[in-house]
């Protein structure tokens, strides 16, 4: 069965600090995709990134970066120089062609000014 574990329930950082959100997944599929979504207080899930299982290159987008390591089944998300607007709940998710999208329980990030 597919499973996503986000062990950090809540993280609090001071503005401008870097923060890494952990995501560990389990799957028997050889082809799968990993996703990160942001859920601000307004409630709407905002898509951040999609990564396929055959592409282990790290990705950087502005202050956001993602580290995908198949050897440890992890897909961690780092925010550099965090800002108050980054405060939200962040979800990691796993999907394949055979199964629906499975989400972790989320990590609540609070960035304090």
Q: Which residues bind another protein (CB under 8 A)?
A: 4, 31-33, 35, 37, 42-47, 50, 91, 93-106
What gap in Å lies between CA 52 and CA 60, rounded to an integer?
Answer: 15
Indicate the pairing of strand 24-26 with strand 3-5: antiparallel
DSSP annotation string for 34-98? EEEEEE-TT---EEEEEEETT----EEETTEEEEEEGGGTEEEEEESS--GGG-EEEEEEEE-SS
Indicate the residue among 65 and 96 with the shorter CB distance to another protein: 96
Minimum CB distance to another protein, residue 113 (Å): 25
Minimum CB distance to another protein, residue 81 (Å): 26
- What are the tokens at 3? 């499973």
Indicate the residue among 38 and 79 with the shorter CB distance to another protein: 38
Minimum CB distance to another protein, residue 16 (Å): 28
Could you give the angle at the alpha carbon of 22 between the alpha carbons of 8 and 9, nearest 5°? 15
Minimum CB distance to another protein, residue 2 (Å): 8
């Amino acid at each position: 069965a597919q499973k996503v574990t986000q062990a950090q329930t809540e993280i609090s950082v001071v503005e401008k600090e870097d923060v890494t959100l952990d995501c560990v997944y389990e799957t028997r599929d050889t082809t799968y995709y990993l996703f990160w979504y942001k859920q601000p207080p307004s409630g709407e899930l905002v898509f951040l990134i999609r990564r396929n299982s055959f592409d282990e290159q790290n990705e950087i987008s502005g202050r956001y970066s993602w580290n995908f390591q198949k050897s440890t089944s992890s897909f961690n998300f780092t925010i550099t120089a965090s800002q108050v607007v980054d405060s939200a709940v962040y979800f990691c998710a796993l999907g394949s062609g055979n199964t629906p999208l499975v989400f972790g329980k989320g990590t609540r990030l609070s960035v304090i000014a």
